[in-house]
Amino acid sequence: MYLANKTLFLILILPFLSYSQIQEGIVSYEASNPVKVILTGAYKPSITLGDQVTVRLSGKVNLRPYEVEKKKGGFLGIGAKRYKERHNNELNAGNFKTVVALTDTKYSTSEGIERRIIFDNSQLLPDSDEYKEIKKEFFISAFIAESGKNPYLGWSQLKLSVEIETIGRIEYLIKLLEKEKLQTFSAIQPFLEMGNVVRQHPNELAKELVAYYKEKQPGILAKIKQDLYEYLLIKSPANLSIRSELALTYSESWQFKTANAEAKKVISELQNKNEQDLQDIDKAAFATSYLVLADVVVNEKMSTQTKSQLLGARYYGISANYFKAIGNNTDYIKTLLKQVKCLQSVSTIEALSEAADILENYLKP
């Protein structure tokens, strides 16, 4: 909607859709070089490294309107009244040149009514420090690049819609954490909350974050994992992978009651799925959760009871099979040996025979 000549104003707020930030604003009529477009939307309108940005232009501009002075009435020009006849020059988006740029970057384009920006390192200015840029916010700027604009009569209803897909921020967030090598969760948490990533993509962030710390920073993970998993679970309560990892963390720190409860929640949820529908991530959560149940049964009160050892062996066996199914041979072997140890501690002929069979089957070529 048009309010007044020479006005840059905000328009309606759109809902948040599909993990994208949807923003809209009006391009200034008067600007003669790229100026920041004021955007509104469901989330804070900002762009940072890793974003895929789609810019769409719509609406119209009264580009070069003019007035012609005329006379009306009177006799032979005597007593005629003067008036101005206005001639508008309204053009739809796409029929005039509009430059769209990303502030403080190399990106600038004047082509098309829809423009897509993949904001990665290649768009940074020369000599930019990537790790400082990750923390910055960038903005869309634009101007109508046409000569002869009438500063008194012209106006803009040129709407610039911006859709910001933010999942690519995770890659740069991980790179920043890799550089910083922060040793405590309290130091790490503010980074996780940069750019709304944990709010918009909690599961994807959790997956990449855990993989990074397991593979590249296991020492730091050992210090922060309970705090990290508890935080991620708050952000994504339905994430069974994180819940199973948290259960294992509780078990390793001898918080057996809590570990047992969390593991059972995971198993209960996964048992509602058909076995053939289980993804590898589900099987991994199953494997970890049964491992927790077994560890709790065997380690709680350092039980040597036959019943506990047999139950532990059963749980270890289920866990080992799931580890094997996803190709996790390291944890498969570790869990299998725990199962054998439980059976050997029972010392009955049946248990020892089963332990021998397990080892024999494992050693078969």
Q: What is the DSSP string of 224-280?
A: HHHHHHHHHHHH-TT-HHHHHHHHHHHHHTT-HHHHHHHHHHHHHHHTTS-GGG--H
Query: Which tokens go with 308?
Result: 């506990």
> How confident is the model at residue 19, as a pLDDT?
52
Distance CA 175, CA 168 (A): 12
Give me the residues of the chain with pLDDT under 70, please. 1-21, 41-45, 74-77, 301-304, 364-365
Length of the chain equals 365
> How confident is the model at residue 268, as a pLDDT?
95
CATH number of the structural domain 168-363: 1.25.40
- Exposed, middle or buried: residue 73 (CB in 10 Å: 0-12, 13-18, 19+)? exposed
Distance CA 308, CA 258 (A): 19
pTM: 0.77
Taking Cα atoms as reference points, which of 57, 59, 41, 58 lies closest to residue 164? 41
Residue range(s) in the chain whose domain bears CATH number 1.25.40: 168-363
Angular region, 94: left φ>0, alpha ψ -120 to 50, beta rest: left
> How confident is the model at residue 229, as a pLDDT?
96
> How confident is the model at residue 2, as a pLDDT?
31
- Distances in whole angstroms, Cα of residue 99 to Cα of each of 23, 109, 112, 137: 18, 6, 10, 20
pLDDT tens-digit map of 42-59: 655 578 889 999 999 999
- Distances in whole angstroms, Cα of residue 34 to Cα of each of 39, 99, 143, 325: 15, 7, 5, 56
Beta bridge partners of 109: 100
> How confident is the model at residue 289, as a pLDDT?
96
> How confident is the model at residue 14, as a pLDDT?
25
> How confident is the model at residue 1, as a pLDDT?
30
